[in-house]
């Protein structure tokens, strides 16, 4: 089962890498064609989400692509990093330190080069802009090579890129953001505390977690901090242990098999609770595993494609 999931995962990675590069090339061609102005104007289309007196508005490129889809992308990245921290390449703290220090170098070096080139110029204030890494493109290029790329290398670059992006986003939020709403930051912190409490008491309803997660996203958005950080943190907070352990799973299957062996094969109704078996099968996988497998195809094909079109359409 694990081998099948791993092969399926790698197949999606490789195929999505082709989609990512193709969308990037198409977007670049359009952006440098006579339709470039129409293409750019499309991504500046005004959009808004309104419920009663509550309203979030912006343009299609920034609100939908940068704030919403990027948050989902970083949530899945957070899931992958959490998996590697718990049972993968990053279990050893010494291995985790290497990409962290690499990310610090990847932040400081481009900022220093930019500052040196723009010293005394009006653009000097933008020293934090080149600090971020295009993490989606990093993953997409690696995916093109499939299993030929060592898995450890992918995790190293993934961790490096995500730490790089978090540092860059925090610097931009703290240094370049004119106002930060500490009240909303406190609300987001309370939301994370609720998520932690729900995990501890064993709440399994995805809908409840989605509602709390959306509230945290709104708090980050209004606080003036990029909500992708919320996506990473929520991914890292996702439980990595299944609700039903291996021993319980085997015992339930053994009891079910005993019931089936003593049953009449001609009977119309099976002497087992199929709903219970469905629950056992679902909860024998951790929430982290289920979310990663469920969201990965959507992020790989849909979200990444929109990110490429949105970013290239706006010349970023």
CATH label of the domain that carries residue 305: 1.20.1530.10
Q: Are residues 142 and 28 in the same domain?
A: yes
Same domain, 167 and 216: no
Enclosing domain of residue 91:
2-177+225-242+285-313
The alpha carbon torsion through 85, 87, 92, 96 (nearest 10 deg) reads -30
Residue 172 and residue 73 share a domain = yes
Q: What is the pLDDT of residue 89?
A: 67
Task: Tell whether pTM > 0.75.
Answer: no
Burial of residue 75 (CB within 10 Å: 0-12, 13-18, 19+) is buried
**Count of domains observed in the chain:** 3
Question: Is the domain of 82 the same as that of 182?
Answer: no
Q: How many CA atoms lie within 13 A of 288 on its CB side?
A: 22
Structure tokens given for 280: 């056992």
Cα gap 104→109, rounded to integer Å: 9
User: Does residue 169 sit in the same domain as residue 233?
Assistant: yes
Residues 87 and 139 placed together within one structural domain of the fold: yes
Alpha helices in the chain (DSSP H): 2-31, 36-43, 70-87, 93-118, 135-144, 151-171, 182-201, 206-223, 228-237, 246-261, 274-283, 287-298, 304-313
Give the pLDDT confidence score for residue 10 in this predicted structure.
Answer: 47
pLDDT in tens, the chain (316 residues): 444 454 454 455 556 667 777 777 887 888 788 888 888 888 788 888 877 777 788 887 778 887 888 888 888 878 887 887 887 767 777 777 888 888 888 888 988 999 999 898 888 878 877 877 666 667 667 766 766 777 777 777 777 877 777 787 677 666 766 677 889 999 999 999 999 999 888 887 788 888 999 999 999 988 888 888 888 889 888 888 887 777 777 777 787 777 667 666 666 566 666 677 777 777 787 888 888 888 877 776 666 665 655 554 454 5
142 and 219 within one domain: no
Within this chain, do residues 51 and 152 fall inside the same structural domain, yes or no? yes
Residues 22, 143, single domain; the answer is yes
Taking the CA of residue 285 as centre, how many other CA atoms within 13 Å lie in the half-sphere pointing to its CB? 16
Give kind and range of the element (H or E) at residue 285: none
**Do 134 and 110 lie in a common domain?**
yes
Asked if residue 116 and residue 249 are part of one domain, the reply reads no
Residue 9 near residue 296, CB atoms below 8 Å:
yes
Q: Are residues 214 and 199 in the same domain?
A: yes
For residue 268, give the DSSP letter: S
């Amino acid at each position: 089962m694990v081998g099948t999931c791993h092969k399926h995962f790698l197949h999606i990675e490789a195929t999505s890498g082709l989609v990512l590069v193709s969308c990037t090339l198409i977007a670049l061609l359009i952006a440098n064609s006579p339709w470039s102005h129409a293409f750019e104007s499309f991504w500046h289309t005004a959009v808004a989400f309104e419920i009663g007196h509550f309203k979030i508005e912006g343009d299609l490129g920034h609100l939908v692509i940068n704030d919403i889809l990027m948050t989902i992308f970083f949530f899945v990245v957070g899931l992958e990093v959490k998996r590697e921290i718990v049972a993968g390449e990053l279990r050893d703290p010494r291995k985790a330190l290497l990409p962290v220090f690499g990310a610090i170098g990847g932040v400081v070096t481009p900022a220093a080069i930019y500052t040196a080139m723009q010293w005394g110029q009006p653009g000097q204030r933008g020293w934090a802009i080149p600090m971020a890494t295009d993490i989606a493109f990093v993953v997409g290029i690696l995916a093109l090579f499939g299993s030929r790329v060592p898995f450890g290398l992918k995790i190293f670059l993934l961790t490096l890129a995500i730490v790089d992006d978090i540092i860059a986003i925090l610097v931009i939020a703290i240094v370049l953001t004119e106002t930060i709403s500490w009240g909303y930051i406190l609300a987001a912190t309370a939301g994370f505390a609720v998520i932690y409490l729900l995990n501890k008491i064993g709440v399994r309803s995805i809908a409840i977690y989605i509602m709390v997660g959306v509230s945290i996203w709104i708090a980050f958005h209004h606080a003036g901090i990029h909500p992708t950080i919320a996506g990473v943190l929520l991914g890292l907070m996702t439980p990595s242990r299944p609700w039903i352990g291996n021993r319980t799973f085997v015992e339930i299957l053994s009891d079910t098999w005993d019931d089936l062996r003593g049953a009449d094969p001609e009977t119309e109704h099976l002497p087992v609770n199929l709903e219970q078996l469905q629950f056992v099968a679902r909860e024998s996988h951790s929430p982290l595993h289920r979310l990663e497998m469920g969201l990965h195809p959507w992020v790989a094909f849909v979200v990444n494609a929109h990110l490429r079109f949105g970013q290239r359409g706006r010349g970023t």
